[in-house]
Structure 1
Amino acid sequence: MNDVTNGAARRATGAETGFDRRLLPPMLLGSVLNPVNSTIISVALVPIGRALGAPAAQTAWLVSALYLATSLGQPVVGRLIDLFGPRRLFLISTGLVGVAGVVGTLAPNLGVLIGARVLLGFGTCAGYPAAMALVRSEADRTGRDSPAGVLTALAVANQTIAVVGPLLGGLLIAAGGWRATFALNVPLAVAAVLLGLWRLPGPKAPSARARASGGVAAQLDLLGMGLFAATLVSLLLFLMNLRPPDWYLLLAVAASATAFALRELRATAPFIDLRVLGGNTPLLATYARALVAYVVAYAFLYGFSQWSEDGHGLTPFHAGLVQIPMFVVGIGVSIVSGRRRGVRGKLLVGAAGQIVACVVLLTLTGTSPLWTLVLVALIFGLPQGLNNLALQNSVYFQADPERTASSAGLLRTFAYMGSMIASSASAASFGQRADTDGMHHLAWIMLGAGVLYLLLTVFDRTLGRVATSPGRHVVPCRRVGSGAAAGRTRRAR
């Protein structure tokens, strides 16, 4: 079914008056496949390590492998979604999630299990860019920006699955061992594929820009994608091996990053348009905030979970229960704050919440009463709800509309780079065991990242202009090939 047929079908049902709510089920399910695997693994790391005889420094690769694959895949798949539409990429990626679930369930050793997590990373990389692309396409179809409630629903869905994830992980481990946390992906993938086949629109026609650039094929910057991948892989290997003998990897990072920048600046249709991105300072600032925010968030998610089991003696199930208050608060905050258009206030309060939570984390010991662990989780719920929503909404209003999916994917790339740094910091802090001294060392790193996040927010004067009124929102952006800045206008609802 092509776009014209889909549009007619929606108009026949009266969907043209607003966002087509029938798109929500595949959007929401696809976008939560990554967070469900992120949160479940947080309580499975210790049982996996014990079962396979691997220390915390090695099981940290289960975290980094997924985020490396997703960091590579999200902007690549997002770019393909911008060109071809979400349906085909969504179906292929979510089908891969099911394959990864089978491989992980049957994995005989840690190496194969890491491979399964790589497959999961690539399999889950289409959901979020596809959802953001659908929000943008519905805005274009209806002639007005999609309701704030749709963007809020995406954030709340991720928060909700984060609530379920640790607890569900603990239940699955108790019932069927850690392998059950991988088997869960099989029914989720089947449901996502069926919903995608049923609800998602067909392939989109090439845009005017694509036709002017020589067609869709000419817009696939394969060399740029390869250099981007080389840069991220080199960076991850460096972060996971922070020892002097491995510092040569910094040279590989610098070389591949330089080659990538030169390629993108000269390419007719670059994978990541550095000329446009460089002229969009607000979007660059949002990406920087995402990186440091997720250093804090993921260091807490994985580090605190491991410490609560190893250093405090909780079971995986109870470690999951302790984190539930964080996600419940996050959901409530997202729902309430989602009704407000501005993002600056959300980011400032979220930054303050991160700092306070890190300070409290420094006071915990292996003999701290359980209520203090719950208190830390409650405080972390505030930035968990505010930061995710504010960063997502910022990208939606700051990005080039024709690159909405790839810009959303790039947001996740920076977030997952933050998760890689967090994973590396956890591995360096804990070593063989997640003890209290290691947790305090990790908390100091988190506190430094939280302070940097606050500074990036306080000194960003552009945040007050992001979706602050129901009028027209203008984001200056340099167009490729033009010597002057071109205005981009969009209706902010």
Structure 2
Amino acid sequence: MITHSQQITTYGRFPRRFLAPLMLGAILNPINSSIIAVALVPIGAAFGARPAQTAWLVSALYMATAIGQPLVGRFVDVFGPKRLFLLGAFLTVIAGIIGTVAPTLWVLVVARVILGLGTCAGYPSAMSLIRKVANHDHLESPAGVLTALSVTVQTIAAIGPTLGGLLIALGGWRLTMAINIPLGMAALLLGWMMLPAYGAGTQQDEREALRSFDWAGTALFAVALLGLLLFLMAPGTSTLWSLAMAASAGAAFAFHELRVTAPFIDLRLLWGNLPLLATYARALAASTTSYAFIYGFSQWMEEGRGLSASKTGLLLLPTFGVGILVSTLWGRTPQVRGKLVVGGTLQAVVGSGLLLTSPGSPIWFLAAVTALLGIPQGLLSLSNQNALYHQAHPESLGASSGLLRTFQYFGAIIASAATGMAFGHRADTTGMHELAAFIIIVSTLALLVTLLDRSLALAPGAGKSR
């Protein structure tokens, strides 16, 4: 086993050996987020399910991840990243096995829940270790490593739809779940062999952390999120009870969190760090518009435009390819505000382009729209990540990073619900235009948040609040 002292051999430089398992862990969630986009229609056909029902495959993963990210992020800060990384990889393998043999849609939903819990450890583990090494080697801002992490995630997200289309063509949608078995096993092996086992507290600290952990707050947060999700997936008078459940559980959650010494989500810290709170709001909006496009547009291309899953996956490649290029070219520059303004504006432009789609839209036009989305994909994800790195307190970076992903995944839940409402029984062009209007509204609100956030102009790195 490789020890921490063996790996950090050059002062002031990041040890590269443990980046491989960290990047593998970080990609497990985005690859499952993007690969499902082209599998929703075949899964619906296999189980006789409508788009509003298959949307649960998206929302279930993100609900589990939204709850799991701050939970795992907090445990990363206490127990160290390696243990949580290995546990997440193990759950990924289990989810892959269950999903591969799932006999019904709802068993597949359960597998996606386990998958969400398993894949949520990679990102906070990576961010925590990067910060610890930066502090050890006295590096002020590891922009290169953060860029590498962002580009890796975007690269895998790019491969997801295309890989999904190829797997479906080769052996059906079940292969899109089976792929998690070798990926999870590789993460287990590389994590066990290469990740340094440091950053954890003493056994007494760990026992005290488990004893004093805010389990009640976690349960209230889960109930509030579930109630809101149930309403969003089928809004109407018949589901008002779930909205009432979400509101009451949310109020109880806020009341509880403000009175415990070690809250699940420190609302007082968030309120005292308004720049970080604004970053979370922008991440929520950016994720909502991005996933509304990816899930909605891909379903429309298959049902509304009549393309195959493999062709749809190929047409989504420009989005991620351009995003990777943008992140690579501008990832090392510390400025944040300009990137956020350009990214928010272009997302609204993409929404306007979707209003022009029709069953006869030429392939070149569809490819141009997906390529244009790649610019804000690259700018917004990287800018919000860099902003958080400077705005969050160092000792709670794991929890803060997990909470960033929570907001992003909640955006994906909103996008999934909006897609289900827009399409109903079929992903037709009318529903696509409704979804486009939704994208324009959300991206415009995100742009306003950026323009009104004065902290972004105080420092090139995103306005430190500490």
The Cα of 1:389 is off from its aligned counterpart by: 0.3
User: Which residue of the partner structure matches residue 331 of structure 2?
Assistant: 338
Cα distance in 1 between the residues matched to 2:114 and 2:212: 26
Map 1:367-378 onto structure 2 (within 5 A). 367-378=360-371
Letter in 1 for 2:155: T
Map 1:271-350 onto structure 2 (within 5 A). 271-350=264-343
Q: Is the 8 A contact 2:100 2:174 kept in 1?
A: yes
Q: Is residue 258 from structure 1 mapped to residue 251 from structure 2 by the alignment?
A: yes
Bigger shift: residues 219-228 or 439-448 = 219-228
User: Which residue of the partner structure matches residue 86 of structure 2?
Assistant: 91
The Cα of 1:42 is off from its aligned counterpart by: 0.2
Q: Deviation digits for residues 19-65 of structure 1, max 9, x if unmatched?
A: 12112101111111001011110000001111111111110100001
Q: Is residue 141 from structure 1 mapped to residue 136 from structure 2 by the alignment?
A: yes
Q: Select the residue among 74, 77, 87 that pairs with 2:72.
A: 77
The Cα of 1:6 is off from its aligned counterpart by: 3.4
Q: Select the residue among 219, 238, 247 that pairs with 1:245.
A: 238
User: Which residue of the partner structure matches residue 7 of structure 2?
Assistant: 10
Secondary structure of 1:329's partner? helix
Structure 2 residues not aligned, in runs of 5+: none
The Cα of 1:204 is off from its aligned counterpart by: 2.9
- Work out the number of aligned pairs and report it: 465
TM-score (norm 1): 0.91
The Cα of 1:273 is off from its aligned counterpart by: 1.4
Map 1:96-245 onto structure 2 (within 5 A). 96-206=91-201, 215-245=208-238
Q: Deviation digits for residues 165-198 of structure 1, max 9, x if unmatched?
A: 1111010000010001101000000110011101
The Cα of 1:145 is off from its aligned counterpart by: 3.1
Letter in 2 for 1:157: T
Q: Percent identity?
A: 53
Structure 1 residues not aligned, in runs of 5+: 477-493
Letter in 2 for 1:269: A
The Cα of 1:218 is off from its aligned counterpart by: 4.8
The Cα of 1:214 is off from its aligned counterpart by: 9.8
Bigger shift: residues 257-266 or 110-119 = 257-266
Letter in 1 for 2:337: R
Bigger shift: residues 457-466 or 26-35 = 457-466
Cα distance in 1 between the residues matched to 2:106 and 2:197: 38
Secondary structure of 2:465's partner? strand
Q: Is the 8 A contact 2:27 2:153 kept in 1?
A: yes
Bigger shift: residues 70-79 or 257-266 = 257-266
Q: Is the 8 A contact 2:40 2:54 kept in 1?
A: yes
User: Which residue of the partner structure matches residue 465 of structure 2?
Assistant: 475
Q: Select the residue among 384, 397, 421 that pairs with 2:390.
A: 397
4+ residue segments displaced more than 6 Å: none
Q: Is the 8 A contact 1:287 1:414 kept in 2?
A: yes
User: Which residue of the partner structure matches residue 485 of structure 1?
Assistant: none
The Cα of 1:305 is off from its aligned counterpart by: 0.2
Cα distance in 2 between the residues matched to 1:217 and 1:25: 30
Letter in 1 for 2:465: V
User: Which residue of the partner structure matches residue 451 of structure 1?
Assistant: 444
Instruction: Compute the RMSD of aligned alpha carbons.
Output: 1.7
User: Which residue of the partner structure matches residue 55 of structure 2?
Assistant: 60
Letter in 1 for 2:347: Q
Bigger shift: residues 198-207 or 448-457 = 198-207
The Cα of 1:390 is off from its aligned counterpart by: 0.6
Q: Deviation digits for residues 422-465 of structure 1, max 9, x if unmatched?
A: 11110000011100001001110111001101101111111123
Q: Deviation digits for residues 330-372 of structure 1, max 9, x if unmatched?
A: 0000011102101101101101110111101100100111111
